[in-house]
Structure 1
Amino acid sequence: MKHREVRELMTHEVVTVPNNAPFKEIARTLTEHKVSAVAVVDSDGRPLGVISERDLLPKSAGQSDYFRSLPERDTWLEGKAAGTRAEELMSSPPVCANPDWTVAEAARLMEAQGVKRLLVVDDSDVLIGIVSRRDLLRIFLRVDEDIRDEIMGDVLALGVRQSPSAITVTVADGRVELHGTVEFRSLIPLLERMCRTVDGVVSVTQHLGYAIDDTDSA
């Protein structure tokens, strides 16, 4: 099966600032480009970090003194409130992905790192794109007919080598239902798992019978 890769979903034109960019320039860049984050890069285009709107907000209303006065000090907030240049404001090191990663791989890294976006770098670690949660969700815009065709061809015919005529596949709004009979009982959970990995699938429900119970150890 061919899964969509990060390179197909990422934004190629990344808004960037140098590590010495002043606070107001960063805020102006975010506003003018209507983005929620910018990448901080070195002179060779390699990412050093990311600055989001969240990194700039502690500066509002001159809160540096306020944060220092709190009973329980928050050094992260203090640092952001006191920062004046990109290198002081950015979250570093940046969380990066490769362009040939699948959507699932990118989503797992986002979840593990608790980030909303990944910078995409090439083999030389040069920034070539950015991919967000919203970008990854685009796989669920895939039409039902394409999902069904992939299940019928790549999953049934090639993956588990079952005759497509023995199994009926219906797809509605990404929800897959399987009806019919497979040769071996052990193929049922395998077929379910393979269907779930198809891009755009929301859920899989099976109503399958089997000819041979190859799971019986008795």
Structure 2
Amino acid sequence: MTDTNEFLHRRALVVRGGWDGHQPVEATNLFVPFLEANFGEVRVEDSTAVYADTDYLDGVDLIVQSVTMSTIEKEEFAGLQDAVIKGTGFGGWHGGIADSFRNNSDYLHMVGGQFATHPGNAPDQRIGEQSDNYVPYTVNLTAAAADHPITQGLTDFDLVSEQYWVLHDDYNDVLATTTQKVRPWDPFHREVTSPAIWTRQWGEGRIFVTTPGHHVDILENDDVRTIIERGLLWAAR
């Protein structure tokens, strides 16, 4: 009975929007049934305005965000950060969490990683579409991943998609990395390794980020989907 009561009183909030190229509606819809199976209430909002409703956020156990770029108002970020500090979990994938609100450096500080670029294919192979940036790459799990509930039992895996180069700090607990190779047309001269999956403790709240997830087809990859589902549950209060 206790477990049932806890389930019925758990709340998840999905906030989506920003650049349509990351399919924020289709991508979050993919995970709504999973959230409904694990939370008593799931609310979906197409605006960050809900972050300013601090009374509501006080009762939210998990925020799933898919808002690429866009902007956030001062009072909205204040509400979001306050909720996380008090214990609300915060999680997401790709640009929906790692390339949000470029107008707010405090958001970057809280999340711990900011998309910088995704080096693409050779210039003579580009056609002016998103696919110009789809490259084969490997997600390499770290030693810490072996015993972590998000990644336990998983191994390195390969994708063909956008490979995020992330600006980050060492407060992150990194569960997986990916390494940018140097190609003849690149302006950088040595390999660069970026976190691909990380967690972060912010006040009483847990933050979960994974950079794979450009389109629904990547989110449907067994490894990516497993990591996201586990990551969201881990982050939840």
Which range, TM-score by smaller chain?
under 0.3
When you count helix as a share of all residues, which structure comes out higher? Answer: 1
TM-score (norm 2): 0.22
When you count strand as a share of all residues, which structure comes out higher? Answer: 2
Q: Which protein shows a greater Rg?
A: 1
TM-score (norm 1): 0.23
